[in-house]
Each structure stands twice: as structure tokens, then as C-alpha cells.
A and B are shown apart, each in its own frame.
Chain A
């Protein structure tokens, strides 16, 4: 089983749509969770961290379900500029530090 699994998409949605991405992780010892965004031919950038209580940043809402080992990202009122690949990222602690484990990413394409 892959450590971090995501639906690769692509998700093709019209402007203004609400879209949800899901991610599952295999290691129950995982402690920290993130969504990164990667534009085409660009580097990944942190979109938001995901906290146990869930968190919201404008049009973006992230939720974590530790029991099901599941993370989600909801984007409301999609904009053309939201088109990118969204990477689910998990930090699992072991040894002296925790390293980031990346999913393959879910591609989003927002159309006019």
C-alpha cells in the first residue's frame, strides 16, 4: 500500500464550482499534515497545514480524520488561478526527525 494515496484526477470543473480532494495515509504514526500546491513546471508551495480540529483559509478548508487516516481539501468558488496540482503531504516521526512523504498529487483544471 502506498504511504500517501490521492486520486490523480484530473478534476475539470467550471469557475465557481466547489471541489473536494481526498487523501489517505498508511502510517498511523503520522503526526503532521499539509496540502502543497504545485503549478505546472513550478516548485511545490505550501497551501495550508492541516490541524486536528480542521482549519479554513478563505475559500480553502482542510480536514483531518485520524481514525480513518484521511485528509481532505475543499475549495469553494473555484477560480481559474486555482488550476494546479494539489499535493497531500504527511510527516511521520521516527528517529531524530520527521520527513515529509508526498502523494502523487491531484490535478485540478478550472475552466471559464
Chain B
């Protein structure tokens, strides 16, 4: 149990659907992150929120829209996705985004398939 939960664990959606991924951390952390993990590629950072403020958008297409209503919750809203967006989407949290040896704790991920 890592203290970071994600729902749903699996999601299949069509290209015209709108869906949302949810992440919740129970660790009292102040920074939350979205990563994408595709087959045969390294983890790619998508978004960073530090104290509820978005501090990083790593050139992510606008069809991915993050939301951070408070330090414990992070959402990723999805619309008009492409098949190449199929991947494992991982949420992570850490004490704060600016600490040198800051450990990031990952959730179990949402396995997304876009048809």
C-alpha cells in the first residue's frame, strides 16, 4: 500500500468519449504528478502541481487536461484521444516539488486503451 490510489485501474474508451482519471494521496504531500508510461518508452512527465498550482506542463496536447482541486486530489480529464494515447497513466506525489532527494510515491496506474 503506497498511500496513492488511482481510479479506474483500467479504462477503454473511444476517440470521441470524455473520461476522467482520478488520483488521491493519503500521505500529506504537497506535490502531485501525472506520468505516461508507454511500451518500450521511459516514463514521461506530463504535469506537475506544487501546492495546488500547476508548475509544469511538459508540452502535453490539450486533449489532456489536469485539475488539482486540493493537495490530496489530482484529476486528468481526457477528450478526443487518439489510439497512440493508449498507455499506463501513473500518478505520483512527493513532499514538495523542490527538494533535492525527494522521493516520489507512485499510484498503481490506470491502464488506458483508446479504440
A residues with a Cβ closer than 8 A to B are 4, 31-32, 34, 42-46, 49, 87, 91, 96-105
Contact = CB atoms under 8 A, between A and B. Distances in A.
Interface of B: 2, 40-45, 48, 50, 55-56, 58, 90, 97-98, 100-101, 103-104, 106-109
Contact of B104 (A31, A46, A97, A101): A46
A101 B58 CA distance: 12
A100 B43 CA distance: 9
A27 to B, nearest CB: 14
Nearest to B104: A100
A99 B48 contact: yes
A22 B112 CA distance: 31
Given A45-B2, A97-B50, A99-B45, A31 B40 contact: no
Contacts of B48: 97, 99
A4 to B, nearest CB: 7
Nearest to A49: B101
B33 to A, nearest CB: 8
B43 A43 contact: no
